[in-house]
Amino acid sequence: MSAGKKAGMDMTQGTIWNKILLFALPLAASSMLQQLFNSVDTAVVGRFASSEALAAVGSNGSLISLMINLFIGISLGANVVIAKYIGQKSEENVQAAVHTAIVVALISGVFVMIFGQLIAKPVLTLMGTPDDVIDLAVQYLRIYLLGMPFIMLYDFGSSILRSIGDSKRPLYSLIAAGIINTGLNLLLVIVFQMSVAGVAIATVISNLTSASIVMYILMHETSVIRIDRKQLKIVPKELKKILVIGIPAGLQGMMFSIANVCIQSAINSFGSDAIAGSAAALNYEFFAYFVVNAFAQATVTFTSQNFGAGEPKRCRKIFHTSMVLSLVCCGLLSLVFVVWRNFFLQIYTTDPAVLLYAKQRIVIATTLECLTSVYEISAGAMRGLAQSGPLPHREAVFTMPVTKPCFGVAYREEPLAEGDIKRELLLDMLGDLVVGGLTKLYRRLYDEALVNPEFSGDFIAVRGACAVAFTGESDTPREVVDLLQAEIERMRRDGVDPEVFMLVKNQMYGELLGDVEAVDDAAEEAAAACLKGRTLADEIAALAELTVDDANALLRTALREENRAYVQIDPAEA
């Protein structure tokens, strides 16, 4: 499966530190350019409009972040899911997740745009925005929100590109948009004297530009992440996976935004000079944080692909490397901003009263920004493992003195009801229906040397519990599990092959009859049936009545991915 050979990178092979740098630095630059949209707005209105206009733009930053951070988290969830599928080489699932993400982006953008229009003035008033600023702040926010669908399309689209290791083309699109944004800002504010309305319109147009470029790239992409307008739909299974990872990530971002809104409310009480000074210094705080965030997203994407490819040791190296690079790079950038603060802050304003507040903030808040690496990189590693909290005990990887990786995947099923011979027989058949020696999947796995001949599916039942398990040896166990899950989903969608069903049924029928040919075997089987409260004749009769429709009905609820457990044993290093 191609995964963007021209623009992407192979994250599962080779040296780690240089690839993380090549991925993270363009991503940090992209985030900084996005922030520069607001920074240019701030600088232009601060220099060529008024302090009130500067305060109006600055007072909106934390509120805008609060409104969009949940959906940015969801876009990160899409990145994790898609990158993991790419690592597993599951093209069908990649396509389903990509198209689901784009539809979610459109819906999210329209929702935030409409909802934001309704709450703009009440929330800014609640935040204590001064009377001399409130009207300009509301005007800026309402125009800015018109571009929200474009912001969402860019964020989700760039997340999709990053899943194949491509962080450069999103950067190029932002460079183009940034040039347009700067030119329009100067034109609309200086020439047409449009103040905050001018910079807001310029930002909407620049967001439209960046979104259009990214969507064009995705629609003309030659790799597996290509978008086809005819396939745009929400696939519930993929949406659930994206939301399970994305919502906690978004909520984390919202918690910081809520804190920033509270801080902004306190700053507002000091007047427009304090608001303007804080807005100027906040830009550099963001720039330093974006370095950390870039390495955190690199951690997410690299971990997702390597975890999907069955490389847990490499995942640990990714975590340690990203942590060190993030601490060093963010620390150095913060030091530059603090030491040369006079130069950087005067880009935005020359008002002495505003500069006083700006210098206080940049020294206090930016100096230790690098410490955010500790929780951001750690959270990125957890999300890359497709988790948003403590890891459940459903996957485990061990090392033992074996010659080849061994693995097992089991699906927990509802306990058998007493006397339910029919369901017990159907569950016993499932392993052979999915990957038995009579199936196309088994032939593919065996012909491509992905499994050994002993690979099989078995039914396990004890009092109060039962499961269907698949076990064997493989050099690429994660790939086998992914193919297995894809086949289960295909069978659930298209139905069990009637010919395979009859062959498996006849095979089981022959095994039951073969068990009574010898006296010893007949006695053993009769005793086992008696302990279950039935006779051998009952089992044979129940098997004879089974139909392919019965198997399809069971498959609608059985072998569910959410009930799956996985264990892998890797060869111990000599």
Number of helices (H), then strands (E), belonging to the chain: the values are 21, 5
Predicted local distance difference test score (pLDDT) of residue 255: 79
Sheet bearing 395-400, strands edge to edge = 395-400, 564-571, 406-413, 465-473, 456-462
- The backbone torsions φ and ψ at residue 549, rounded to the nearest 5 degrees and listed phi first, read -65, -35
pLDDT tens by residue, 248-270: 888 877 777 777 778 878 888 88
Instruction: Tell me the pairing of strands 395-400 and 564-571.
Output: parallel
Determine contact, residues 11/86, Cβ cutoff 8 Å. no
- The backbone torsions φ and ψ at residue 508, rounded to the nearest 5 degrees and listed phi first, read -65, -40
Instruction: Tell me the pairing of strands 456-462 and 465-473.
Output: antiparallel
Predicted local distance difference test score (pLDDT) of residue 392: 44
Question: Mean pLDDT across the chain, nearest whole number?
Answer: 84
pLDDT tens by residue, 422-480: 888 899 899 889 988 888 888 888 888 888 877 888 888 877 778 999 998 888 888 88
Q: Mapped to the 3 state alphabet, what secondary structure does 465-478 carry? A: EEEEEEEEECCCHH
Predicted local distance difference test score (pLDDT) of residue 169: 92
Predicted local distance difference test score (pLDDT) of residue 295: 93
Against a cut of 0.95, is the pTM above it? no
Extract long-range pairs of 374-379: CB within 8 Å, 24+ residues apart. 374/323, 376/292, 376/293, 376/295, 376/296, 376/326, 377/292, 377/295, 377/296, 377/299, 377/319, 377/322, 377/323, 377/326, 378/319, 379/249, 379/252, 379/296
Per-residue CA distances from 264 to 39, 267, 316, 541 (Å): 17, 5, 38, 75
Q: H helices within 340-393, ranges in order? A: 341-345, 352-366, 373-384
pLDDT under 70: residue ranges of the chain: 1-8, 34, 36-39, 308-310, 386-394, 512-529, 531-533, 573-574
- DSSP calls for 135-151: HHHHHHHHHHHTTHHHH
Can you tell me the distance from the alpha carbon of 353 to that of 348, in angstroms, rounded to the nearest whole number? 13
Helix axes of 17-48 and 168-186: crossing angle, nearest 10 degrees: 10
